[in-house]
Amino acid sequence: MSAATPAEPAVVQGPPVERQEEVLTDGALAFVAALHRRFTGRRDELLAQRAVRRAEIARTGRLDFLPGTARIREDPSWRVAPAPAALEDRRVEITGPADDRRMTVNALNSGARVWLADFEDASAPTWQNVLGGQLNLIDAYARRIDFTTPEGKSYALRPAEELATVVMRPRGWHLDERHLTVDGRPVPGALVDFGLYFFHNARRLLELGKGPYFYLPKTESHLEARLWNDVFVFAQDWTGLPHGTVRATVLIETITAAYEMEEILHELRDHASGLNAGRWDYLFSIVKNFRDGGERFVLPDRNAVTMTAPFMRAYTELLVRTCHKRGAHAIGGMAAFIPSRKDPEVNEVALEKVRADKDREAADGFDGSWVAHPDLVPVARASFDAVLGARPHQKDRLREDVHVTADQLIAVDSLKARPTSEGLRNAVQVGIRYIESWLRGHGAVAVFHLMEDAATAEISRSQIWQWVHAGVVLDTGEKVTAELVRRLAAAELAAADEGRWQEAHDLLLKVALDEDYAEFLTLPAYELLE
């Protein structure tokens, strides 16, 4: 490698995208290249450590809190940095892909306190979407974004003080971006998404009274949180911004991270603003890590595993306890219901479930929660308003009554529900329908009145894999076999219209039935993206 190589910017390998020159500037490409050269090697080491830990779980069939970091958990003195004003009140957060221009306007206007602008599970990472999401956010901050429907209805931004605060979610550490390379290697998608967004928007956001705020997905250990913290420090130094300008909320959506919540907050303590409890990726992680653990780890139908299940209660109560102990926000899970325009009875039943779920979260001590649709914002807000009143949060509720053991977090066999024939059919249907839409560039998809994303597709295909390999017998008396799954998939394919259904069908069967379990279905799926 020549002495001049380290100064060379990232190389664009993707097809031309309209207005890409506004995002892929020389400065931005140099910044992304610097991030890659500094941090991708450590990223690689941490991904290798994931495999080592998974092998240990397969050998022992258990997890425990880390003995080597007990001093951090036992030290009562440390706290995360105080929340900035824009993140002090987070009682309702709406989620959605940043690559959708209409979503960008509607989410910012929704009345939610926060918009999770997603480049991860709710976005299919086509090059158009990757750059389009960046452009939408740049345009939003410059107030030059609007949207007009084919019917002529116009959407424009409300006054600045009424807009949701953006918390951007980059891709997880495992995904690379093949359209941007440095020294002949693809740059991790996380560094592309973070780097482009931070470079273009950090200073502008500070001028607007907000800041560069992030959700960190699929974190599996405090060492991965340490890597993110070092990325933040490097980025702030590069641009001359004060230390602590960046704020991050970590999604505790892997079973291993659930055992390291305090350590994760400690690593990010100068930049941390909270933790979030995400159900579908969390269940996916349990299946992935304990997939060969036998009958005691077999999950029933995904819709039967609610947040009231004993092991899920242990997880969420520990999260609230941990966050409030350390001065961080605890953010609850997703209300994924998409209201029907034609069936008020469906809406009434579903909204009552949403209301009950948000009432429970507020009563448990959460400081806010997620919704997937603007119509759910007032429902969730009412639940938190009833508990919070004029207060911005309830971090004073320390939940010192909570005492969670290592075994309680993985007590999957405490569930009474069992896998059903309908649950298997639903897993096949959701898997194929979501993948087909994803391959066409849509990462957030309404299926059966629920907003599905990559996380729900992951739990669907993982349960199929688990049920086949565990020889599960359904409520009908039928045993789950590869042949049964193929029959259900064939029926779904036969009913499909035009689209990429054959590819979706084939990919679902591959990631659900292959002997070698794919770590993430989006890895082989990414190779099929155009």
Q: Quick one: pLDDT at residue 6?
A: 54
Catalytic residues: 169, 453
Asked if residues 518 and 509 have their Cβ atoms less than 8 Å apart, the reply is no
Beta bridge partners of 329: 274
Smallest Cα–Cα separation from 261: which of 392, 402, 401? Answer: 402
Asked if residues 508 and 431 have their Cβ atoms less than 8 Å apart, the reply is yes
Please tell me the number of Cα atoms within 13 Å of 340 on its side-chain side: 13
Asked if residues 180 and 10 have their Cβ atoms less than 8 Å apart, the reply is yes
Q: Quick one: pLDDT at residue 149?
A: 84
State the DSSP H helix or E strand holding residue 275, giving kind and residue range, or none if neither. Answer: strand 272-277
Q: Quick one: pLDDT at residue 297?
A: 96
Where are the domains positioned within the chain?
A: 22-388, 418-526
Smallest Cα–Cα separation from 253: which of 287, 288, 279? Answer: 279
The CATH classification number of 22-388 equals 3.20.20.360
Asked if residues 302 and 456 have their Cβ atoms less than 8 Å apart, the reply is yes
To the question of pTM greater than 0.85 for the whole model, the response is: yes
The span from the CA of 372 to the CA of 39, in Å, is 33
Tokens of 364: 């448990």
* Direct distance between the N- and C-terminal alpha carbons of the chain, in angstroms, rounded to an integer: 32
Asked if residues 183 and 1 have their Cβ atoms less than 8 Å apart, the reply is yes
Asked if residues 410 and 63 have their Cβ atoms less than 8 Å apart, the reply is yes
The span from the CA of 260 to the CA of 254, in Å, is 10
The span from the CA of 439 to the CA of 526, in Å, is 8
Distances (CA, A) of 175 to 44, 68, 328: 11, 30, 28
The span from the CA of 117 to the CA of 137, in Å, is 9
The span from the CA of 289 to the CA of 286, in Å, is 5
State the DSSP H helix or E strand holding residue 186, giving kind and residue range, or none if neither. Answer: strand 185-188
Asked if residues 164 and 94 have their Cβ atoms less than 8 Å apart, the reply is yes
The span from the CA of 493 to the CA of 276, in Å, is 36
Q: Quick one: pLDDT at residue 431?
A: 97
Burial 42-58 (b: 16+ CB within 10 A, else e): bbeebeeebeeebeebe
Asked if residues 320 and 360 have their Cβ atoms less than 8 Å apart, the reply is no
- CA angle at 43 for the pair 37 and 48, rounded to the nearest 5°: 135
- DSSP string for 332-348: EEEE-B---SS-HHHHH
Per the CATH hierarchy, to which homologous superfamily does domain 418-526 belong? Malate synthase, domain III (1.20.1220.12)
Please tell me the number of Cα atoms within 13 Å of 174 on its side-chain side: 19
Task: Determine how many CB atoms are found less than 10 A away from the CB of residue 460.
Answer: 29
Tokens of 514: 């292959």
- Say if residue 302 is exposed, middle or buried (CB neighbours under 10 Å; 0-12, 13-18, 19+): buried
The span from the CA of 331 to the CA of 325, in Å, is 14
pLDDT, tens digit (0-9, with 9 covering 90-100), for 187-202? 999 999 999 999 999 9
Smallest Cα–Cα separation from 289: which of 253, 322, 332? Answer: 253
pLDDT, tens digit (0-9, with 9 covering 90-100), for 249-292? 999 999 999 999 999 999 999 999 999 998 889 999 999 999 98
Q: Quick one: pLDDT at residue 279?
A: 85
Residues of the chain with pLDDT under 50: 1-5
